[in-house]
Amino acid sequence: MTIGKIIDGKAFAATLRDKVADGVAGFVEATGRKPGLAVVLVGEDPASSVYVRSKGKMTVAVGMESFEFKRPDSIGEEDLLDLIEELNQDERVDGILVQLPLPKHIDEAAVIGAIDPAKDVDGFHVVNSGLLATGQEALVPCTPLGCIMLLKDELGDLSGLEAVVVGRSNIVGKPMAQLLLAESATVTIAHSRTRDLASVVHRADIVVAAVGRAEMVKGEWIKPGATVIDVGINRIADGEDGKSRIVGDVATAEALAHVRAITPVPGGVGPMTIAVLLRNTLVAAHARAG
Ligand code: GUN
């Protein structure tokens, strides 16, 4: 039995960060200032706090300025919108990222909509999603852009390939489908209401799993020789007392016997997201510097 290749997202992300660091050095030389990334964290969610700390460290490591704004869960929407407006006006800030999810009393769409689209390094503003959907230059959501980079590195030209995206979120599924379409893949978006998901997934040369359900995509669903990108990060109990581990949306061990290549969890897509965020911040800085 042949075993598929494990795609090393960690190594790819490290190379991308090195490239960004070179680009940042060039930017500093040309403009006399560092690109700046502002991250806004509302509340104390432990997973979000870990991400934000990691983002801050990596931002500084590539030579950029990192600004962090922590606000309590109790912050009102108006106060959060005032902070966004301040960051929109701040010349030192090239990228603004508001960590999601936000507390329930805050309208997420209103907050994202308040970010200057030119500083929207998450690519979540409707101006950027509209630009992406119409094939124009845009700031593109980090996770799906990282997935496309890994796919092109593995497969080269994606044109004509059958791609199935499992999941229809604004953060991953929808922009992922747009990016695959822009690469001339034949794209299907499957989701919780899709009938016979197994046979839909079995059509695919490319499977992108982004549903947030542990090991939902089974190995036998995968067409032999397909490439699988697993976006899931799910913490599950391990059976032993009190222990837990992180798994993806794909049953990786089973899938390995079928795939050409697959991203592991952890160490696949995860490290790409922050690397692409830094890349987007440099792109935004260049666009703003003119
Ligand atoms: N929460 C989970 N993923 C993301 C992301 O890519 N960006 C932001 N802002 N919040 C997230």
How much is the average pLDDT of 246-251? 97
Check pocket membership of 100 for ligand 1, CB cut-off 6 A. Answer: yes
Q: Which of 286, 275, 15 is nearest to 143 (CA)?
A: 275
Q: 245: annotated binding-site residue? A: no
How much is the average pLDDT of 90-94? 98
Atom of ligand 1 minimally distant from the CA of 100: 10
pLDDT surpassing 90 at residue 179: yes
32-116 and 141-270: identical CATH topology: yes
CB of 87 within 8 A of CB of 118? no
Q: 169: annotated binding-site residue? A: yes
- Residues with a catalytic annotation lie at 55, 99, 122
Exposure string (b/e) for 235-252, b if CB count within 10 Å is 16 or more? eeeeeeeeeeeebbbbbb
Cβ burial, residue 111 (10 Å; 0-12/13-18/19+): buried
Taking the centre of ligand 1 as the mean of its atom positions, its distance from the CA of residue 201, in whole angstroms, is: 26
What are the residue ranges spanned by the domains of the chain? 32-116, 141-270
Q: 193: annotated binding-site residue? A: no
Number of helices followed by number of strands (H, E) in the chain:
10, 11
Taking the centre of ligand 1 as the mean of its atom positions, its distance from the CA of residue 258, in whole angstroms, is: 31
Check pocket membership of 111 for ligand 1, CB cut-off 6 A. Answer: no
Structure tokens at 157: 């030209």
Structure tokens at 16: 């991308």
CB of 198 within 8 A of CB of 218? yes
Check pocket membership of 181 for ligand 1, CB cut-off 6 A. Answer: no
For domain 141-270, the CATH class is: alpha beta
Q: Which of 147, 119, 99, 112 is nearest to 273 (CA)?
A: 147
Which of 84, 87, 97, 170 has most ligand 1 atoms within 8 Å of CB, for mutation?
Answer: 97
How much is the average pLDDT of 244-258? 97
Task: Indicate the pLDDT class of residue 242, thresholds 50, 70 and 90.
Answer: confident
Q: Which one-letter amino acid corresponds to residue 36? A: G
The stretches of 156-204 forming alpha helices (DSSP H) are 173-182, 197-202
Exposure string (b/e) for 117-137, b if CB count within 10 Å is 16 or more? bbbbbbbbbebbbebbbeeee
Atom of ligand 1 minimally distant from the CA of 277: 6
- Summary mean pLDDT of the chain: 97
Task: Indicate the pLDDT class of residue 239, thresholds 50, 70 and 90.
Answer: confident
How much is the average pLDDT of 252-276? 98
Q: Report percent pLDDT > 70 for the chain.
A: 100
Across the beta sheet with 95-98, the strand order is 65-71, 36-42, 95-98
pLDDT score, position 62: 98
How much is the average pLDDT of 251-258? 98
How much is the average pLDDT of 222-243? 91
pLDDT score, position 290: 85
CB of 238 within 8 A of CB of 244? yes
Q: Residues in the chain, how many? A: 290
pLDDT score, position 34: 98
Task: Indicate the pLDDT class of residue 245, thresholds 50, 70 and 90.
Answer: very high
**CA dihedral for 220, 221, 223, 227, sign (positive or negative):** negative
Residue listed under structure tokens 């700031």: 139
How far the first Cα of the chain sits from its last, in Å, is 54
Check pocket membership of 37 for ligand 1, CB cut-off 6 A. Answer: no
50 vs 153: CA distance, rounded Å: 29
pLDDT surpassing 80 at residue 198: yes
Check pocket membership of 99 for ligand 1, CB cut-off 6 A. Answer: yes
CATH number of 32-116: 3.40.50.10860
CB of 140 within 8 A of CB of 181? no
Check pocket membership of 171 for ligand 1, CB cut-off 6 A. Answer: yes
Atom of ligand 1 minimally distant from the CA of 143: 6
CB of 38 within 8 A of CB of 69? yes
- Stated as kind and residue range, the H or E segment containing 149 is helix 142-155
Window from 32-46, 65-79, 98-112, 237-251 with minimum mean pLDDT:
237-251
Which of 99, 140, 172, 233 has most ligand 1 atoms within 8 Å of CB, for mutation?
Answer: 99
In this prediction the ipTM stands at 0.93
Beta bridge partners of 189: 165
Nearest residue CA, atom 2 of ligand 1?
Answer: 100
pLDDT surpassing 80 at residue 165: yes
Task: Indicate the pLDDT class of residue 147, thresholds 50, 70 and 90.
Answer: very high
Q: 167: annotated binding-site residue? A: yes
pLDDT score, position 155: 98
Check pocket membership of 84 for ligand 1, CB cut-off 6 A. Answer: no
pLDDT surpassing 90 at residue 106: yes
